[in-house]
């Protein structure tokens, strides 16, 4: 049986851990709020861009662009978005598992990996699939530039015909306590995505529409990647908050249990002493 001192020490240590997890939870809650706002504030731009692209598409007779070219999917680029840091429950593990499943499903094709986030990079570095490029330690200061870099890398690979399709796997932000792993096709861009619903106005174009279209299309890829990054960041904080909450609660339970145990041992010791005294008195 552990001694009283051991248990006391143990309780103190668990209490320290609990303090830590509680603090992390508070921090994540604050970061989550900010990340959530960023997800929302990125939406108007994405919507406008999509609308404008749709407008242009319906005006151009011949819409052709390297990013729209459909080839048979022999080589696939997979963009895997994880977090840079751990301690957020199954957040990273879910992504890595889904990415592995994806690779298994497409074992007849060649897979190129592009990793965003340190945790996924570390996971796949030890595995047989080669990593084409990696973007790590970006989530603490995430901005549009990162999305630009990533989409430039994947856009180049696609237009140079090094890969025939681009998918991305990331955590979609459903709610504060819920994330969903999604696999999305990024390239080739679906023409249906760009269909215009409202009747297009007769614009004066300062530059040829085709030229504008060609410049706009890469931005569309960028904003998609950016949205995925933002959603992933928000999900990460949500996941961390939830798991730290659970951890704090578990620590609380453990402290209760240990305290009970400690009291029991203390009582047992007192009882034993009394018996000793009583039986000593009886023997006299």
Partner 1 sequence: MADGTIDLTIVTPERAVVHEEVDELQIPGAEGYFGVLLGHAPLFSELKVGEVAYRKADRWFFLVVAWGFVEVQPNHVRLLAETAERAHEIDIDRAMRAKQRAEERITRGGEDVDYGRALVALERAVIRIQVARKAEHAVNA
Question: Is 52 a binder of partner 1 (CB under 8 A)?
Answer: yes
Task: Please report whether residue 44 would count as binding partner 1 according to CB under 8 A.
Answer: yes
Which is nearer to partner 1, 62 or 202 (by Cβ)?
202
Phi, psi of 55 (to 5 degrees): -60, -45
Residue 253, burial from CB neighbour count under 10 angstroms (0-12, 13-18, 19+): exposed
Asked if 188 and 67 touch (Cβ cutoff 8 Å), the reply is yes
**Which part of the chain contacts partner 1 (CB under 8 A), choosing from 21-29, 126-134, 219-227, 265-273?**
219-227
Among 3, 19, 26, 41, binds partner 1 (CB under 8 A): 41
Q: Evaluate the omega torsion of the peptide bond into residue 173 and state whether it is cis, within 30 degrees of 0.
A: no
Q: Is 248 a catalytic residue?
A: no
Q: Is the CB of 46 or the CB of 63 nearer to partner 1?
A: 46
Residue from 67, 77, 88, 251 carrying the catalytic annotation: 88
Out of 19, 26, 48, 246, point to the residue binding partner 1 (CB under 8 A).
48
User: Which residues, numbered 134-173, are part of the site for partner 1 (CB under 8 A)?
Assistant: 143-144, 147
CB of 129 to partner 1, least distance (A): 31
- The residue from 4, 93, 216, 265 that contacts partner 1 (CB under 8 A) is 216
Asked if 158 contacts 215 with a C-beta cutoff of 8 angstroms, the reply is: no
38 binds partner 1 (CB under 8 A): yes
Contact 77, 230 (CB under 8 A): no
At residue 135, the 3 state secondary structure works out as: strand
Tokens at 100, concatenated? 């592995």
Edge-to-edge strands, sheet with 110-116: 131-135, 110-116, 75-81, 165-175, 178-187
Please pick, from the candidates 70, 125, 180, 205, the single residue that binds partner 1 as defined by CB under 8 A: 205
Q: Give the residue numbers marked as catalytic.
A: 88
């Amino acid at each position: 049986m552990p001694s009283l001192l051991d248990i006391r020490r143990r309780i103190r240590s668990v209490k320290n851990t609990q303090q830590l997890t509680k603090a992390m939870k508070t921090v994540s809650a604050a970061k989550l709020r900010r990340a959530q706002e960023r997800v929302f504030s990125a939406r108007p731009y994405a919507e406008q861009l999509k609308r404008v692209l749709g407008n242009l598409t319906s005006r151009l007779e011949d819409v052709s662009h390297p990013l729209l070219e459909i080839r048979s999917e022999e080589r696939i680029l997979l963009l895997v978005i994880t977090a840079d840091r751990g301690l957020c429950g199954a957040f990273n593990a879910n992504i890595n598992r889904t990415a592995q499943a994806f690779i298994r499903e497409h074992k007849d094709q060649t897979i190129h990996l592009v990793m965003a986030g340190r945790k996924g990079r570390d996971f796949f570095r030890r595995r047989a699939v080669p990593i084409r490029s990696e973007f790590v330690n970006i989530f603490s200061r995430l901005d549009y530039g990162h999305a630009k870099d990533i989409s430039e890398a994947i856009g180049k690979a696609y237009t140079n015909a090094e890969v025939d399709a681009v998918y991305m796997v990331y955590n979609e932000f459903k709610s504060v306590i819920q994330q969903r792993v999604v696999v999305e096709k990024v390239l080739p861009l679906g023409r249906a995505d760009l269909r215009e619903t409202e009747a297009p106005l007769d614009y004066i174009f300062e530059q040829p529409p085709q030229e504008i279209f060609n410049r706009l299309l890469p931005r569309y890829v960028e904003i998609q990647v950016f949205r995925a990054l933002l959603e992933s960041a928000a999900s990460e904080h949500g996941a961390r908050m939830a798991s730290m909450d659970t951890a704090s609660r578990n620590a609380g339970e453990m402290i209760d249990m240990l305290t009970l145990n400690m009291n029991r041992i203390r009582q047992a010791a007192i009882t034993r002493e009394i018996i000793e005294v009583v039986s000593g008195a009886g023997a006299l």
